[in-house]
Amino acid sequence: MTARIRFGLLSFAHFHANFWADAINGSDKAELVGIWDDDVTRGQAAASKYGTQFVPDLAALLDQCDAVGITSETAKHVALVEAAAARGVNILLEKPMARNLAECRRIVEIVRQSGVTFMQNFPKRYDPINHELIRLVRDGVLGEISLVRVRHGNAHLMELGAAAAANWFGQREQAGGGALLDEGIHAADLLLWLLGEPEKVSAFVSNATLGLSLEDTALAIFSYPSGALAEIATGGTLLAAEGSIEVFGTHGVAVLSGVDMASRFFARPPYLKIFRRNMGRNEWEGIDLTPNFQHGHFHHGGPLHFIEVLRGEAQPVLSLEDGWKPVAMIEAAYRASETGQAQPVTFSLDPDGK
């Protein structure tokens, strides 16, 4: 497929749809052919803003598209994936893949049966500074990894306060979970990329700060076959921060800053720095890279990469498996929080966990 990709956006419920529309409009390899939304007023406003048509009939828009981006409420992901796949339309899906593993299983079945090109969106995968962090680990620069700490969050819930409960992401039925699923899923994806599959998890969630029905703050600790431990700290109540990711190894340490909203406006260069064991105790070695977050393009990478994939110019960096495995980690963390006991993390779509 070498012609311009006819791209549609399904729902502006998720704010990231605005970044996707910007990215598509800014590409000479694609065109935004239309927007569908079950909220007509919201959809019409988005279409006017981004200079395209609002199509109230979902099937009618799908018939005009080579690809769609799904940025709806998480509860509607399965139905919209099914509608697009039934018409042979390729799919870019906003995170998380679904509210739970049962819904992930259905999405995987739909995509495999249809044969459409599918890509799960996790924007950390498109940022060169994250690739450099991964290289440091995989090339053994830091030695054997003993501990990873990932904080990924923002102050969005804090800014909304009680009003968050009226939004879809403040409702369990629509979102599937609170900060752990919404923001912590980014960290889960990074940990899978960095360390592979964990074995067990212990976790705590809290809604004490804002009193919502969903958690506004969460902490999960994963253990790995190597003996390494990894922590996800997340929340919608993080007013300011600096270091986002810390990786501790036997030969050195890497610290990455400015790669989430909590730290975006507070981190300063060098954003990625490493300490090597043979360096002085007060020395850091800075890496000359700037996170996409600092450029304001963090959420643009997904649609731009997907367009290149559909044109045969790139291989997808994320797959169906990359979509559901982070959900498996978060679902296990919720079980650990509910039971007060460490839980196994089972990477299987089999209903029996086999």
- Predicted pLDDT at 295: 85
- What secondary structure letter does DSSP report for 204? E
All residues at 6 or more sequence positions from 34 whose CB lies less than 8 Å from its CB, including other chains: 8, 9, 47, 52, 53, 54, 55, 61, 64, 65
pLDDT digits (tens, 9 = 90+) for 283-336: 999 999 999 988 888 899 999 999 999 999 999 999 999 999 999 999 999 999
CB 33 within 8 A of CB 65: yes
What are residue 352's phi and psi, to 5 degrees?
-90, 0
- Predicted pLDDT at 352: 65
pLDDT digits (tens, 9 = 90+) for 210-233: 999 999 999 999 999 999 999 999
Q: What percent of the chain has pLDDT over 90?
A: 94
pLDDT-based confidence at residue 2 (cuts at 50, 70, 90): low
- Per the structure block, which two tokens stand in for 136? 């440091």
| Phi-psi sector, 242: left (phi>0), alpha (psi -120 to 50), beta | alpha
Residue 346, domain member (yes or no) = no
CATH number at residue 21: 3.40.50.720
Parallel, antiparallel or unpaired: strands 217-223 and 229-235: antiparallel
One-letter amino acid at 214 equals L
Residue 114, domain member (yes or no) = yes
Domain that holds residue 148: 124-287+329-337
pLDDT digits (tens, 9 = 90+) for 84-127: 999 999 999 999 999 999 999 999 999 999 999 999 999 999 99
Q: Alpha-carbon distance 33 to 55, whole Å?
A: 10
CB 185 within 8 A of CB 99: no
Angle of CA points 69, 11, 189, to nearest 5°? 50
pTM here is 0.96
Is the domain of 213 the same as that of 238? yes
- Cα of 281 vs its chain's centroid, Å: 35
CATH number at residue 214: 3.30.360.10
Is the domain of 91 the same as that of 149? no
Is the domain of 85 the same as that of 209? no
**Residue 208: burial class (beta carbons within 10 Å; 0-12, 13-18, 19+):** exposed
pLDDT-based confidence at residue 282 (cuts at 50, 70, 90): confident
Parallel, antiparallel or unpaired: strands 243-249 and 252-257: antiparallel
